[in-house]
Structure 1
Amino acid sequence: MTTIDQPVRDLDLGLLSAALQGQLFLPGTPGYAERVTGWNVAVRRTPAAIVDVATAGDVSAVVRFAGINGLRVAVGATGHGAFSLDEPHLLINTTLLEECVVYPDGWARVGAGVRWQRVLDAAAPHGLAPLAGSAPNVGVVGYTTGGGYGPLARTLGVASDRVRAIEVVTGDGQARRVTAEDESGLFWALRGGKGALGIVTAIEFDLVRIPSIYAGALYYGGENTSKVLSAWREWAGRLPARATTSLAVLQLPAMPGVPEPLAGRMTVAVRFAWTGDPADGEAVLQPMRAVASTLIDAVNTIPYAALGAIHADPVDPMPVFERTGLLRDLPDEALDVIVAAAGPESRSPQVIVELRQLGGAIACHAAPSAVSNRDAAYSILTIGIDAPGIGEATRAHSEGLLGALSPWLTGGKLVNFAADGSTESAHRAYDSDALSRLGRLAAAYDPHGVLADALPIRRACAGI
């Protein structure tokens, strides 16, 4: 690999640029600065060049150039899953790969630059629904290749289980079409292995026929945190398969887009999605409506395409630090830990402390893939601001909360949550068999170690 001491400027990037249908951007030139920063502006990357790829051939050209010249290749579109990378590298921007076709018989083909809201809107006229995530502004490919746990996951399963085919450029520069029948090992790895096995240019997946859902969130004052959390745990444990739920303790700033009753104070949101008859969903939700007075009751029948309203995730770039874990159980003692760390008397610096109930279809009927940790009962995620003056407190608080919950943690994590590029993260995201298999496949399909997203897995397998 090229080292920091070997100036990247000595490489003939003009030769690469001439081979592209897309466009190459160098540091200091117009267009570079706005492309180098993704959604999490705390992530540091200074690529030697950024390439807006227009075709799969462009991706192959970049990967081959990197391999010849000892560079890594990172990839992104929205930047939600990016992690800091100090090594010399090229950054592929897939935004121009914008193909989006929905077939009325129940499937879609989507380019790597497409975000979920576009697919949601394209599928809606046919009464069809993709297994999108809680934030429709996120890219389809990164979300799906990381497993894809959406706000209806307990009912519909994870997005990667619906994949039919993937078109990918592997680390050797070869463009491949991968299905369960053709290159089955690579197909297994790409569904859950994120970008470790290649740079996806297009993906095909099945849709479900759900035109509308009974869904949204109930928002309570933060003073009710303990009461709501305890009631939610008991209520969620009795939910039928048609329901998916999560809970979040929020401290949202007073800013445009934040409803006045929620701004500048602690609140608790109970998210709910129901795929059956709305009247039945209303009856199922009633016990939570009765727990305490709500500041906002935003649960109603909505078009499936309005899925993003359930979590109302922020879309504007910000500097954040995330910490995550998986829980095997949520006993009273664990609830006490969460209330003490994130409740109204805690002085918590976190913007969000979230619990998602797992189980259901997540753990059942799973097609073989690299997705691991399907047996967890809940996930927990903290999101706080990572900026000078507060970042240290955010990090310490996150580590303290997860440490206090350690008696009930499985040791695992979901791939798409809290990406940091560490070997520890790779060990937590995959069981030992999946990690070993991913490492072997990465070595076979990327013999020169070009793909930056494979580094955590390769280093974990090497014991680094």
Structure 2
Amino acid sequence: MEPIGEPTGHPAVFDGPPAFDDLRRAVDGALFAPGQPGYTELSTPWNLAVRTSPAAVLEAATAQDVVEAVRFASANGLPVAVQATGHGIASDLDGALLIHTRNLAECTIDPRGWARTGAGVTWKTVLSACAGTGLAGLCGSAPGVSVAGYTSGGGIGPMARTFGAASDQVRAFDVVTGDGRLRHVTAETEPDLFWGLRGGKSSLGIITATEFNLLPLPTIYAGALFFGEDSAARATFAWSSWCHTLPPEASTSLALMQLPPTPGVPEALAGTFTAAVRYVYTGSPDDGARWLAPMRAAGVPLMDAVQTMPYSMIGMVHSDPEDALPASEASCLLADFGPEAAQTLLRAVGPGTNSPQLLVEIRQFGGALSEEPAVPSALCHRDAGFGLYSVGVAAPPELPAIAVHAAGLHASMGEWHFGANLPNFSASSGAAGFAASYTPEVLARLTRLAAHYDPDALFRLGQVPAR
């Protein structure tokens, strides 16, 4: 990577608008303009189908770099966006100053049961750091995403029914607000901002560090059952009834998949239609096996990968892809999912439908997630019963057809729609999707907070409506 700006104190010429020289001189990190190799790498999101065109990219080296960047953007009328792994970027970022936080890599595990991570740290790093300690952080199904981005969107992962949302475990944030201040925010110091940062995504500021509780959970009984095309429908119907019987110690999802024969895909699953039952049980393995028994009896699995495993291996439950891909994603919340909904889903994307979707997943919610935490947050729609998510992967010219198919799928499930979405699943929907993630009352409160903490509306891209 070739930075166009070098650390403060080193003479360099910024090959971009002259005004950016002031920012280059003020920061320790490197600044990149369009056309530079570093610019392309840092501005490319996880979804390769999304094209971004920021005015410049700052690879922040310190939290103070973020402060300087926000102050510079305010002085020059530039919108600001933030990226660590790029999973939440869905705007073209035209003319924005993009702050990349991957070098904010602090990761401290306190044996007393909490952690502090910089904005560039992924859950994969936390899982590795906690291995052997008996402690666990409430990560998502894809450990390759950043702690800060995931948690600021609420963070509803594969143990949400047991422990609630990741944002419920936050102790403090370090955040740079739109007024250019670096704040250490807790429920006691700034309760309104603490409320909004847990669920409000990046609408109120750029998180530079997160402190959160860890759970005493050295092992889990978890994994996935994979059913082939001949028993996928039977497994889907069985899951739609079985999931309603589960205790809060169990979290599950159902994925209808058509995985390509590519490296990393098990031979038994490659190039064929499968139904995967994902399952995490936090109690004893014997009890976990007893609760799972009805699904094991629903057919003859192609693979049975449910077993006792270290918590650090939780990413194997979903085995989400880590490499960047061109994708078309869609999601919504469902009020319920029973046999009639299962029948409708199978008609749209089941065996023999030639669905272009790589994966269609139904996640069960409820349990601890449906309970309001002791310290309230901006995360809404905790009473939704299920989530529907679809993703198709193809060359960019083919993605619009996949999106049209997904729209038809979601419309066919309209009878069970909850009428809303979740922040971490709304990136592809822009400001409208962001608004659908909140009740009118919560959105109004977030908008008021944004007006206070971001007076110049720097963080307006795809977030709280411009004021």
TM-score, normalization by structure 1: 0.95
Long gaps (5+) in structure 2: 1-14
Percentage of matched positions with identical amino acids: 49
- Give me the whole-angstrom Cα distance separating, in 1, the residues matched to 2:435 and 2:57: 30
Give the drift of 1:9.
4.3
Q: Residue in 2 aligned with 1:430?
A: 438
| Stretch moving more, 263-272 or 225-234 | 225-234
Q: Is 1:101 the counterpart of 2:101 in the alignment?
A: no
Residue 448 of structure 1 corresponds to 456
The answer on whether the counterparts of 2:221 and 2:282 sit within 8 Å (CA) in structure 1 is yes
Secondary structure, counterpart of 1:137 in structure 2? coil
The equivalent of 2:326 in structure 1 is: 319
- State the 1:17 CA deviation: 0.6
Partner of 1:246: 253
Tell me if the contact between 1:39 and 1:78 (Cα under 8 Å) persists in the aligned partners.
yes
2: CA distance, partners of 1:52 / 1:315 = 21
Q: Deviations over 1:332-368 (max 9, x none)?
A: 3321210011101211000010000000010114230
Instruction: Spell out the pairing of 1:192-203 with structure 2 (5 A cutoff).
Output: 192-203=199-210
Query: Amino acid of the residue matched to residue 356 of structure 1?
Result: R
State the match for 1:4 in structure 2: none
- Counterpart of 1:187, as a letter, is F
For 1:379, the equivalent position in structure 2 comes to 387
Question: Equivalents in 1 of 2:452, 2:394: separation in Å?
Answer: 37
- Which residue matches 2:121? 114
Letter in 1 for 2:378: A
TM-score by length of 2: 0.94
Alpha-carbon separation, structure 1, partners of 2:422 and 2:393: 21
Q: Which runs of 5+ in 1 are unaligned?
A: 1-7
Q: CA–CA distance in 2 between the matches of 1:93 and 1:278?
A: 42
Residue equivalent to 1:17: 24
Task: Give the whole-Å Cα distance in 2 for the aligned partners of 1:340 and 1:30.
Answer: 46
1:222 aligns with 2:229: yes
Query: What corresponds to 2:44 in structure 1?
Result: 37
Look up the match of 2:86.
79
2:239 aligned with 1:262, yes or no? no
Q: Which is worse superposed, 87-96 or 221-230?
A: 221-230
Distance 1:333 1:241 in 2: 24
After the TM superposition, which residues 129-148 of structure 1 pair with which residues of structure 2 at under 5 Å, given as runs? 129-148=136-155
SS in 1 for 2:185: strand
1-structure distance, mates of 2:191, 2:394: 41
**Which amino acid in the other structure matches residue 403 of structure 2?**
R
Q: Name the counterpart of 1:342.
A: 349
**Does residue 218 of structure 2 align to residue 211 of structure 1?**
yes
* Counterpart contact for 1:84–1:421, Cα < 8 Å: no
CA shift at 1:223, angstroms? 3.0
CA deviations on 1:397-437 (whole Å, 9 max, x unpaired) are: 10001111112101111110141252321231001111000
Decide whether the 8 Å contact of 1:74 with 1:92 is kept in 2: yes
Letter in structure 1 aligned against 2:222? A
Q: 2:296 aligns with which of 285, 289, 292?
A: 289
Partner secondary structure for residue 359 of structure 2: strand
User: CA contact under 8 A between 1:337 and 1:401: conserved in structure 2?
Assistant: no
Give yes or no for contact 1:218–1:296 (8 Å, CA) kept in 2. Answer: yes
Name the SS of the counterpart of 2:109 in structure 1.
strand
Of 403, 406, 414, the residue aligned with 2:414 is 406
More deviation, 70-79/28-37: 28-37
Q: Is the 8 Å Cα contact of residues 240 and 339 (structure 2) preserved in structure 1? A: no
* Aligned equivalent of 1:279: 286
